[in-house]
Structure 1
C-alpha cells in the first residue's frame, strides 16, 4: 500500500522535502538555544531565545495563512526556502570570524520562525491538491510519521554533531533547505488564479472572512474548539508535569523522561503506520475516539502515579494523539475549500500555539497550589468528559437523522 503510493512522484518529493526540512528546523531550533547559552551563560537570555522561536506564530501565524491562499504556492515555498539558506549560513560565518553576538542570533531566530509562519500552512495546503481523496489518509499518515520520526532521530543526530561543535547544526539546516528546494522543483500541480484584495486591510478582511465561514461550519467550529481545549489541558501535564513528577520519584528524571518520550514517539509512529490499514476515511467520531484514548492515557498515569504506569499512560496517549491528529488534518482537507486551506491550517496552528502558551503560564502558577497528581487526574478527566459528551451528542444526532430519513422502498 505504501509502496504504491510512493510511486506517485509528486507525493514522494513532497514527503521527502517536508521531512528533510523538518529535520533542519528541529536541529536549528536546538542550536539557537545552545549557542545563546554559550554566548550569554544566562537562563534569562536563553529563555528569551525560546520565546523568539514561538512568538512569531502568535504574531504572524494567521497572516501566513492568508498569504498561502493568495500567492502561487510552489513559487512561495521555494522563495521562502531560498531566503532561509543565507540567513542560517550567516550565523555560521559570523561565528567562524568571532563576530556573532546574541542580538543578531535573536533576530535571525525570529526571522526564521516568521518565515515558517508562511511556509508551514502553504506546505500543508499543497497536499490536498496533489492527492486524490482516497490517498489522503495514507499520505497524511506518512507525513506525520516522517515528522515524528525526525523528532525521535534528531537527538541522535544532535549528539553526533555536538562532537564537532554546535555551530555545525546550522550547516545541516542550510543543507536541508537546499534539498527542500530541489524536491519542490519536482512537485507539479495546477492552481486556480485568484483575484483578491492584496492589501494590509485585505489581509485582515481575509482572516475575518475565514473565521466567519468557519463559524458557520459546524464540524470545523467543533474541531477547532475541542482541539484548543484538549491541547490546553494536555500541554502542561505532558510536557512539564511528567518531568516534575519524575523528579520527585527518581534521581534520574531526565533520563527517564527521555526514555518516556522515546516510547511515546515509537508508539505514535507505529500507530500512524497502522491506521490507514483500518481507516480509509476519517470522521469527527474517529477524531473524538482518539481524544477519548488520549484523555484516558493522561487520567491513567495521574491516577496510578508511578513510574511504570507513566509508561503505560504514555503508550495510550501515543495511540490516541495521532488518531485525533490525522483525523483533524483529514477533516480540514476535506471540508475546507481549496482557496481557504492556507488560512485553515494557519488558524489551526495559531490555536495550538495559543493553547500551549496559556496552558504553560496558567498551570505554571496553579502547580504552586495544587499537586501534580491532581492536575494530571483533573485535566485527563476533563479531556475524557468533553470528548465523550461531544461524541455522544454527534451519535444521537446522526441516529435521529437516520430515523427521520424517508425509506425509498422502490430503490
Structure 2
C-alpha cells in the first residue's frame, strides 16, 4: 500500500529526515525532564521545564506560520536545523565541566522550541507540495508512522544510553539528528511559488489577522481547532508529567519504564497508522472526534486501575485514538486550507496546542499539590470522552437536519 509513495525520492528523503530528527527530539525531550528532576528533585521545577518547551509557541508560533508562507522553505529548514546543533552540544559541554544549571536548561529548551516555531509549520507545508492529492492520506499515514514509530526505537536507545553514558548524551544524539535532517532536506526538490521576502512587520501581523478571519468563517476548521484545544488541555499534564511522576512513586526504574511505555505506545500507533488508510481515504471531523473519544478512554483506564501493568494497557488504547485524531486533523487542514495559507494554518494549530499545553501544565501543576495524580488522570480522561461525545452528538444532529431540509426543499 505504501510502496508507491515510498518509491518517490522526494517523499522518501522528506520522511527519512523527519523521522531521524524526531527520534532525537523524543530523546532530548525526555532528557530535559530527567535532568530537571535530577538537578532539583522538585515536581514543580519538572513541570516548569515542560512549560519552557511550550511557552515559545505562544510568543512566536503565529509569526512562524507567516514566515513559512513567505520564505523559501528548503533554505529556511536547513538553516534552522544547523542553528540547533551547537545549542545542544553546549549542554553536554557544561555538564562535563560541572557547570550545568537548571536555569541554563530552561534557556536552551526555550531557544530550541523557539526555532521549532519556525521549523515545524514550514516542514508541515512541504508534504502537500511534494505529493499528489490521491497520495496524501497514505503519505500522511507513512509520515506519522515514522514520527510516532521512532518511539518504538527510543526506549531501546534510551535504556542503552542511560546505562552506558547517561541521559546527557540524549542531547548528543539529538544534535547529530539535526545534521542528518539538514542533509535529507537538501535532497528534497520542492516546487515553490515565488516568495516575497521584503514584507514589513506590520504586514506580518496583518497576515495573521487575515487568517484568523478566514478560519473563523470556516465552520469545520473552527470546530477542529476548538476540539483540539480542549482535548490537548485535558491530556498534556497527565501524559507528559503525571505518568512520569506516578512511575517515580512506584518504581526506582521510572525513567526506563517511562521509555518502554513510550515504545509500546509507538508500536500501537504504527499499527493504527498502517490500518487506517485501508478503511479511510478521506477523513472527517466525525472521525477526529471518534479518535479523541478512544484517546480519552485510554487515559480513564490507566487512571482508574493506576498500576504499572495497567499503564501499559491504557497507553496502548491512547495509541489507537491519538493517531486517528491526529491524522484526521492534518488531513482536514491540508484539504480545506489554501496553499498560500497553509503555513499559518499549521502554526495556528501549533499555537493552540502549545497554549493548551501551557495552561494545562500550569493548572495541573498547581492542582497536583491538593489532588492526587490518579484523580487528575481519571477526571481528565472522562472529560475528554464527554467533550468528544458532545461534539459527535452535535455534528450528527446537524447532518440529520441538513438532510431533512434538503429533502423537503426539493419535494
TM range (shorter): 0.7 to 0.9
Q: Distance in 2 between matches of 1:130 and 1:291?
A: 29
**What is aligned with 2:74?**
74
Q: Distance in 2 between matches of 1:405 and 1:112?
A: 52
1:261–1:213 distance in 2 versus 1, CA, 3 Å: same
**What is aligned with 1:219?**
220
Q: Distance in 1 between matches of 2:334 and 2:259?
A: 34
**What is aligned with 2:16?**
16
Matches within 5 A, 1:311-330: 311-330=312-331
Q: Distance in 1 between matches of 2:48 and 2:293?
A: 36
Q: Distance in 1 between matches of 2:316 and 2:49?
A: 32
**What is aligned with 2:387?**
386
**How far is 1:91 from its partner?**
5.4
Select between 99-108 and 183-192 the one with higher mean Cα deviation.
99-108
**What is aligned with 1:336?**
337
Q: SS of the counterpart of 1:405?
A: helix
> Contact conserved, 1:290 with 1:320, CA < 8 A, in 2?
yes
> Contact conserved, 1:243 with 1:253, CA < 8 A, in 2?
no
1:188–1:403 distance in 2 versus 1, CA, 3 Å: same
Matches within 5 A, 1:37-186: 51-89=51-89, 98=97, 102=101, 107-162=107-162, 163-164=164-165, 168-186=169-187
**What is aligned with 1:202?**
203
Q: SS of the counterpart of 2:54?
A: helix
> Deviations 1:247-285 (Å, cap 9, x if unpaired)?
67x456826555444332321222122211221111111
**What is aligned with 2:6?**
6
> Contact conserved, 1:13 with 1:186, CA < 8 A, in 2?
yes
Aligned length: 406
Q: CA RMSD in A?
A: 3.3
1:270–1:108 distance in 2 versus 1, CA, 3 Å: same
**How far is 1:105 from its partner?**
6.1
**What is aligned with 2:273?**
272
Select between 146-155 and 6-15 the one with higher mean Cα deviation.
146-155
Q: Distance in 1 between matches of 2:298 and 2:30?
A: 28
> Deviations 1:24-77 (Å, cap 9, x if unpaired)?
333344555667788x67768877665544332222122111111111111211
For structure 1, the 5+ residue unaligned runs are: none
Select between 326-335 and 395-404 the one with higher mean Cα deviation.
395-404
**How far is 1:200 from its partner?**
2.0
**How far is 1:235 from its partner?**
2.0
Normalised to the residue count of structure 2, the TM-score between the two structures is: 0.86
**What is aligned with 2:294?**
293
**How far is 1:170 from its partner?**
4.5
> Contact conserved, 1:64 with 1:118, CA < 8 A, in 2?
yes
**How far is 1:83 from its partner?**
2.5
**How far is 1:228 from its partner?**
0.6
**Bigger radius of gyration among the two:** 1
Normalised to the residue count of structure 1, the TM-score between the two structures is: 0.86
Select between 392-401 and 307-316 the one with higher mean Cα deviation.
307-316
> Contact conserved, 1:91 with 1:100, CA < 8 A, in 2?
no
Q: SS of the counterpart of 1:56?
A: helix
Q: Distance in 2 between matches of 1:257 and 1:28?
A: 14
